[in-house]
Amino acid sequence: MTLIASEPVSDDRDIPFLPLALGLAGLAPFIALALTIALGGSGAAGFDPASALLAYGAVVLSFLGGAHWGLALRHPSPDIRTALYLGAALPPLWAVAGLLLGGAVGLGMVAVGLAAQGAVDGLRSGRFAAPRWYGRLRALLSALAAVATAAAAVVVASQQM
């Protein structure tokens, strides 16, 4: 399997450096915003860190749905393609519901969405044209993002009481 035509991967169980590095970099906003919320701070220039975390989580869920849309495009079976397309549409719809509800409930929804998408990615690892390493990478990233977002939801909920 190749990620890019000029970049052969000898064993698709090993997570390539670039997806790992970019994935870990993508965790920085989850962790930084959750810590800002937990420490009671406000963001630079006075932005609301809870709203920023909610928006970032929604963007990530939409991105993950798009990744599954890409898997659907490559599948030869029309029935499986249909199921993959439907599954790909769920994360962004879930994220929009979280954005509309906002606050602790919205953050909780995004945390659940991230955890659920991590589980789905694990199940699809090595299937539907996804390399085997994808599930391991997504499990790690989804777990950390979901925990950070859930912790922020708990703090925001306690502030709303």
C-alpha to C-alpha distance for 140 and 7, rounded to whole angstroms: 24
User: pTM value?
Assistant: 0.88
Contact (CB, 8 A) for 144 and 27: yes
Contact (CB, 8 A) for 125 and 136: yes
Task: Output the pLDDT for position 100.
Answer: 98
Task: Output the pLDDT for position 11.
Answer: 60
161: Cα separation from own chain's centroid: 29
Task: Output the pLDDT for position 125.
Answer: 78
| Per-residue pLDDT tens listing for the chain (161 residues) | 333 333 444 567 789 999 999 999 999 999 999 999 999 877 667 789 999 999 999 999 999 999 989 888 888 889 989 999 999 999 999 999 999 999 999 999 999 999 999 999 888 777 777 888 988 999 999 999 999 999 999 999 999 87
Count the residues in the chain: 161
Ramachandran sector of residue 82 (left: φ over 0; alpha: ψ -120 to 50; beta: rest):
alpha
Q: Where are the domains of the chain?
A: 17-39+49-160
